[in-house]
Structure 1
Amino acid sequence: MLKNSFFSIILKEQEENKENRGSVEFQVVSFTNKIRKLTSHLELHKKDYLSQRGLRKILGKRQRLLAYLSKKNRARYKELIGQLDIRERKTR
């Protein structure tokens, strides 16, 4: 449960600055929160296929945003990956 409180702290910091709600970092953090909530939901409800579809869509959106951020600003990308404790995307 330590991770949930950590993410809520990050969200509160970014929510205070309402101008940043459209920033890539804020969107990635909010998608990560949604992903974690859906994952815990799916652990209980294994046959909830609509939630599985929603999870896959959110994962794709987050992946595209992270790809964009890694192309535009590699330092911010590395920092965000470290804060959220998610894997770096695979490169071909």
Structure 2
Amino acid sequence: MINNLSVRPFLVPKEQRGSVESQVCYLTSRIKRLTEHLDLHRRDYSSQRGLWKIVGKRKRLLIYLFKKDRLRYDNLIGQLDIRGLR
């Protein structure tokens, strides 16, 4: 499992900065931050809407990766410790 989910540009090779894996990793870190924020501020509906948009974008990227390369998808799901597609 990846503990530090923040994607730093100097840690990721230049060829992989826009890859599906790095995008999903970045979106996962944003989802975790927003979830923590919403635990404290339950009635912040604007942030809640933003969270749902980010979750939807990550889901679309995971569907794309699932269709294109199943091995990379399974590896990413295992590293990030997130639920797979249903």
User: Scaled by the length of structure 2, what TM-score is found?
Assistant: 0.90
1:19 Cα deviation after fit: 2.5
* Amino acid corresponding to residue 47 of structure 1 in structure 2: R
1:6 partnered with 2:9: no
1:73 partnered with 2:69: yes
* Amino acid corresponding to residue 3 of structure 2 in structure 1: F
1:63 Cα deviation after fit: 0.1
Count of matched residue pairs:
86
* Amino acid corresponding to residue 36 of structure 1 in structure 2: K
d(CA) in 2 for partners of 1:69 and 1:15? Answer: 22
1:11 Cα deviation after fit: 2.8
Unaligned runs of 5+ in 2: none
d(CA) in 1 for partners of 2:12 and 2:66? Answer: 25
Contact 1:31 1:62 in 2 (8 A): yes
Q: Deviations over 1:20-42 (max 9, x none)?
A: 12100000000000000000000
* Amino acid corresponding to residue 31 of structure 1 in structure 2: L
Q: Percent of counterpart pairs with the same letter?
A: 55
Contact 2:9 2:17 in 1 (8 A): no
Between Structure 1 and Structure 2, the one with more helix by share is 1
d(CA) in 1 for partners of 2:12 and 2:33? Answer: 22
> Relative contact order: is structure 1 or structure 2 higher (C-alpha 8 Å, sep ≥ 6)?
2
